[in-house]
């Protein structure tokens, strides 16, 4: 790759690409916005193995002792109750989800994964446990084991290698994109640096589907602790701005849903408000992360070699 094309970058995962200078991108039906919903199904360990990591700030406010049953039970609520409340809200809005699934969820709660398949939702790999995200301190062998374990768990339900990887808490090592491509993944959705899909540059091509974390439910409601009543206002503002901007350069939008958070009885009405607004909007392609990646790859394949 010419040196001038690397200018401004301090890593080789992708090429800097200002939006106005890109090859034209068009969504099916001429839509301004490709919209997808990411539903996270997670298993939280009470006592993770030594050396495992989870994102700082996500633990409960009560974690000053062990065993911290209260925090674990709070997260487990999503797998017992919250999931079904969220599923019903998606049904009522006639919207489908892309589901990021931990391998341990497949083993412990096959009922949940089967329910997702019954709804016709895409199943993506989401690591092994909510308490074991990928990180730079892992060896390559450890990271490969995690990727293969999750891919195998999803394959057992779907009969094929998952097309997508939506990592636990969107964390990766410097090796992750190349390892995912090597293991047959077609896209990953961990990078919040764009509003369109783009090619990443490991030895094998892989598509990055933008993961917009600014209005992620955990980011806003749990970590920044905004008032729940403001959540729809912020999400809808982002959705509408992207839809307007997409009239010139088509954009993508993702809504993240964690069932232990938005599946709570006092929050579900606000999720329903967002979903209905999304469903009623025109000039929007309501789809899955896999469909976005597949469409992008099919229309932009020729440009991949140009970016290497």
Q: What is the pLDDT of residue 11?
A: 77
Q: What is the pLDDT of residue 220?
A: 95
In terms of phi and psi (left: phi > 0; alpha: psi -120 to 50; beta: otherwise), the region of 225 is left
Instruction: Pick the more confident residue, 302 or 96.
Output: 96
Instruction: Pick the more confident residue, 270 or 300.
Output: 270
* DSSP strand pairing (122-125 vs 98-101): parallel
Q: What is the mean pLDDT of residues 107-134?
A: 93
pLDDT digits (tens, 9 = 90+) for 200-214: 986 788 999 999 999
Comparing 59-68, 205-214, 281-290, the range with the smallest average pLDDT is 59-68
pLDDT digits (tens, 9 = 90+) for 30-50: 999 999 999 999 998 877 767
pLDDT digits (tens, 9 = 90+) for 14-31: 888 899 999 999 999 999
Per the omega criterion (within 30 degrees of 0), is the bond before 67 cis?
A: yes
Burial of 225 (0-12, 13-18, 19+ CB in 10 A): exposed
Q: What is the mean pLDDT of residues 95-122?
A: 96
- Among residues of the chain, what percentage have pLDDT more than 70? 89
Tokens of 175: 């090796």
Spell out the residues 6+ positions from residue 54 whose beta carbon is closer than 8 angstroms to its own.
Answer: 48, 130, 131, 132, 133, 168, 169
Q: Among 35, 83, 130, which Cα is nearest to 268's?
A: 83
Say if residue 56's pLDDT is above 70.
no
Burial of 47 (0-12, 13-18, 19+ CB in 10 A): exposed
Cα–Cα distances in angstroms (integers) from residue 255 to residues 71, 229, 280, in the given order: 24, 17, 15
Q: What's the gap between Cα 244 and its chain centre? A: 23
Kindly report the pTM of this predicted structure: 0.91
pLDDT digits (tens, 9 = 90+) for 216-266: 999 999 889 999 999 999 999 999 999 999 999 999 999 999 999 999 999
Cα separation of 79 and 76, whole Å?
A: 5
- The radius of gyration of the chain's CA atoms, rounded to the nearest angstrom, is 19
Tokens of 12: 């080789």
Tokens of 11: 């890593």
Q: What is the pLDDT of residue 4?
A: 42
Q: What is the mean pLDDT of residues 283-291?
A: 98
Q: What is the pLDDT of residue 196?
A: 97
């Amino acid at each position: 790759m010419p040196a001038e094309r690397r200018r401004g970058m301090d890593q080789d995962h992708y090429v800097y690409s200002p939006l106005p200078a890109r090859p034209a991108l068009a969504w099916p039906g001429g839509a301004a916005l490709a919209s997808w919903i990411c539903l996270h199904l997670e298993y939280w360990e009470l006592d993770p193995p030594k050396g495992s990591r989870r994102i700082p700030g996500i633990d409960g406010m009560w974690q000053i002792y062990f065993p911290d049953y209260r925090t674990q039970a709070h997260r487990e609520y999503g797998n017992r109750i919250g999931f079904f409340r969220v599923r019903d809200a998606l049904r009522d809005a006639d919207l489908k989800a892309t589901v990021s699934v931990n391998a341990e969820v497949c083993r412990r709660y096959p009922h949940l994964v089967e329910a997702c398949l019954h709804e016709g939702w895409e199943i993506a790999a989401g690591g092994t446990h909510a308490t074991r995200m990928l990180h730079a301190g892992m060896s390559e062998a450890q990271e490969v084991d995690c990727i293969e374990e999750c891919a195998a768990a999803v394959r057992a339900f779907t009969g094929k290698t998952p097309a997508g990887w939506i990592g636990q808490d969107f964390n990766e090592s410097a090796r992750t994109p190349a390892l995912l491509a090597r293991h047959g993944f077609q896209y990953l959705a961990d990078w919040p640096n764009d509003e369109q899909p783009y090619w990443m540059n490991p030895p094998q091509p892989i598509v990055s589907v933008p993961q917009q974390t600014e209005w992620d439910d955990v980011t806003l409601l749990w970590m920044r602790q905004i008032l729940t009543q403001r959540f729809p206002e912020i999400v809808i503002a982002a959705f509408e701005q992207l839809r307007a901007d997409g009239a010139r350069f088509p954009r993508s939008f993702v809504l993240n849903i964690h069932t232990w958070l938005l599946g709570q009885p006092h929050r579900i009405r606000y999720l329903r408000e967002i979903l209905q607004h999304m469903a009623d909007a025109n000039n929007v392609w309501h789809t899955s992360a896999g469909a976005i990646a597949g469409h992008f790859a099919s229309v932009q394949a020729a440009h991949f070699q140009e970016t290497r």
